[in-house]
Amino acid sequence: MLKTAICDLFGIKHPIVQGGMTHISTTELVSAVSNAGALGIIACGYYLADWVREQIRLTRQKTNTSFGINIPLISHHIKEVIEVILQEKVPIVVTGAGNPEAYIPEFKKAGIKIVPVVATVSAARRMERAGVDAIVAEGTESGGHIGETTTITLVPQVVEAVKVPVITAGGFAGGRGLAAALALGVQGIQMGTRFACSTECIAHPSYKQKILEANDCGTAITGSTTGLPLRGLKNNLTEQFLAMERSGASKENLNQFGHGKMFKGLIEGDVEGGALPAGQIAGMIKDIKPVREIIAEAEKVIAGLKNFKTGGC
């Protein structure tokens, strides 16, 4: 079994992290991923602190191994959520949508590992200086909120720029990508859309089905004009949203229009009127299967790479 620096750092068997996906990275998926030897991540989204506490406790009931929690720093409840995370001593915190520097001392004091998601080399450098434990370098092919640089160009530049372990996200659905990522010099990959299409994920079956039907051109980026671009499956909603953007709709109108649409798509299964965050790799995903099989398949590919020097090429 190929071990990398993040296996020790996070206390996991496989160099695989599950992406924190709002509404659907809940205790069901998280505990399945962690029990399979990878790193499950609870997504806080904009949920209240009490919901977050419940998710953490439920996860602890279902798994004895390591897991993490993803907090978008733009959440209105960020202070209360962080308080809960500190109280519950979640071992690993992944931060997104903002700069976590202000919170780093508290997390470190509590022995919690901090792993920010970044989309540029300069952000990676700044985060390393601020004392984070590892970095997720996320390419524009990711689902959800994204930057502009692609995984295959961003990753080797981040790996050269920092000394902390780098995990990459954006464009991964299995072992072939994991092997490529290791060649680029990272210590692990994060997969989101692939885990959304697991048996255990609570996402609505219609959303999962829509991922299975997507091809390589199946996603679109909305919200570029609002400063918070989001990649998701093309549907009536993305067409409407893009038409509004082309006709010069204000950020306020766009945000109002988008409000609540992710819950509608992911949980209620409204695949035309809801938002369906998904990565460009959706076209590679052709089945819904248990988390354990997803991880075993990836592991099988890299099992042949015992002599593969990660970061060495």
Give the binding site for a second copy (CB under 8 A).
120-122, 139-141, 148-154, 156-157, 160, 170-172, 175-177, 179-185, 215-217, 279-281, 283-284, 301-302, 304-305, 307-309, 312-313
| Type of residue at 9 | L
> CA 307 from chain center: how many Å?
29
Radius of gyration of the chain (CA): 18
- 170 near 141, Cβ under 8 Å? yes
- What does DSSP say about strands 230-233 and 144-145: parallel, antiparallel, or unpaired? antiparallel
Phi first, then psi, for residue 188 (nearest 5°) are: 175, 170
Q: How far is the CB of 157 from a second copy (least distance, A)?
A: 5
Pairwise CA distance, residues 225 & 186, whole Å: 32
Q: Which of 204, 196, 208, 187 is nearest to 33 (CA)?
A: 196
Q: How far is the CB of 244 from a second copy (least distance, A)?
A: 15
Kindly list the distances between the CA atom of residue 211 and the CA atoms of 25, 144, 177, 202, 203, in Å, as whole numbers in the listed order: 16, 14, 18, 14, 11
Pairwise CA distance, residues 37 & 121, whole Å: 30
Non-local (6+) Cβ contacts of 89 within 8 A are 110, 111, 112
- What does DSSP say about strands 219-222 and 166-169: parallel, antiparallel, or unpaired? unpaired
